[in-house]
């Protein structure tokens, strides 16, 4: 529905300011792009039904809109809209109401609309041995590409790959949190990694082990120094151009390491950064960490988000 245009100036401003608010709170770039699109669809629905004022937004109107949306066909693939799509749409509307409460001082409750049953997506965490396989694959991968890169570049890539695994597995960071990581966020003396803007703008400190410190310091002082181009660059992870690395680079490096892992099952997995986060949470619970501490470690708002990992522990280790 990206082609929908809003005629009401106040609605256009609301969509823009809502997007900026999400960005300031630290939501993932994909969320900052998609949620305003869902909100635009709702505002367009309002216009089509004669509503042109922000103050006219209320729960009965949203419920009527959502009921029509849930019965709408999928315009590209046919059939109905997926439950995951409907849930994401509903999340966007819930965040809009939160924005109106906090920024526009409009007293409006949450929608109260129950979430749809999510379409099943099997989560398979890595085993501890498979994590070790990924670390071991760093050296194997570098040797395989020996002819393609100078020795200094290979060293920088090796150290960066191990630091990537350390940040996204050992520290359990989200993709966006890893992208935003700066040199000043890593406190080697106290062995803490600072996440200044987690999901929803929530900051937290993540404890780091001695082995994690070693991986981060090795890259920081020996690998990053090869990649850096500007002395005032504060980004921790850098690409070949000496600029801040993005999530695509992290995922590409992870998939490259996967190819060289000495484990057939691991090589065939649908592997991405969030699997590393799933894996460390599962391993910590299995090793005896409390659900509350795992939730704090991951930066979850509530224990409900962490409950999934108790089921994964039972599934993998039960």
Active site (catalytic) residues: 174, 199, 274, 277, 300, 309
The two three-digit tokens of residue 80, written as one number:
């109905």
Q: Within its chain, how far is the Cα of 125 from the centroid?
A: 16
The burial of 291, by beta-carbon neighbours within 10 Å (0-12 exposed, 13-18 middle, 19 or more buried), is given as: middle
Gyration radius from the chain CA atoms: 22
Task: Tell how far CA 243 is from the center of its chain.
Answer: 20
Q: CA 89, CA 91: separation in Å to the nearest integer?
A: 5
CA distance 307 to 300: 11
Distance CA 209, CA 215 (A): 10
What does the alpha-carbon distance between residue 24 and residue 234 come to, in Å, rounded to a whole number? 19
* The dihedral formed by the CA atoms of 75, 77, 79 and 82, expressed in degrees to the nearest 10: -90
d(CA 220, CA 226): 10
Q: Which two tokens stand for residue 35?
A: 């949620």
Q: Which residues contact 192 (CB under 8 A, 6 or more apart)?
A: 205, 206, 207, 208
**How many Å apart are CA 277 and CA 279, to the nearest integer?**
5
- Cα separations (Å) of 68 from 7, 53, 61, 81, 197? 22, 21, 11, 11, 36
What is the spatial distance between Cα 303 and Cα 294, in angstroms, rounded to a whole number? 9
């Amino acid at each position: 529905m990206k082609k929908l245009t809003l005629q009401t100036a106040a609605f256009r401003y609301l969509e823009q300011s809502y997007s900026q608010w999400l960005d300031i709170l630290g939501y993932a770039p994909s969320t900052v792009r998609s949620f305003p699109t869902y909100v635009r669809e709702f505002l367009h629905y309002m216009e089509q039904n004669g509503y042109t004022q922000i103050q006219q937004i209320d729960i009965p109107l949203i419920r009527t809109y959502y009921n029509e949306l849930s019965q709408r066909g999928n315009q590209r693939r046919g059939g109905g809209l997926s439950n995951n799509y409907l849930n994401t749409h509903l999340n966007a509307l819930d965040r809009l109401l939160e924005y109106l409460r906090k920024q526009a001082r409009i007293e409006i409750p949450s929608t109260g609309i129950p979430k749809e049953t999510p379409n099943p997506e099997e989560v398979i965490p890595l085993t501890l041995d498979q994590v070790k396989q990924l670390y071991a694959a760093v050296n194997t991968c570098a040797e395989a590409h020996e002819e393609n890169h100078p020795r200094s570049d290979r060293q920088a890539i090796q150290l960066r790959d191990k630091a990537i695994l350390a940040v996204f597995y050992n520290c359990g960071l989200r993709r966006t949190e890893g992208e935003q990581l700066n040199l000043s966020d890593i406190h080697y003396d106290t062995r803490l990694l600072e996440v200044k803007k987690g999901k929803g703008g929530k900051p937290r400190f993540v404890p780091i082990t001695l082995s994690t410190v070693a991986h981060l310091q090795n890259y920081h002082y020996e690998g990053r120094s090869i990649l850096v181009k500007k002395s005032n660059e504060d980004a921790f992870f850098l690409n070949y151009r000496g600029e801040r690395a993005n999530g695509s680079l992290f995922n590409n490096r992870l998939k490259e390491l996967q190819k060289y892992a000495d484990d057939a099952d691991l090589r065939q997995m649908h592997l991405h950064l969030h699997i590393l986060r799933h894996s460390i949470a599962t391993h910590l619970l299995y090793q005896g960490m409390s659900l509350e501490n795992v939730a704090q470690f991951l930066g979850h708002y509530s224990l409900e988000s962490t409950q999934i990992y108790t089921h994964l522990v039972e599934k993998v280790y039960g």
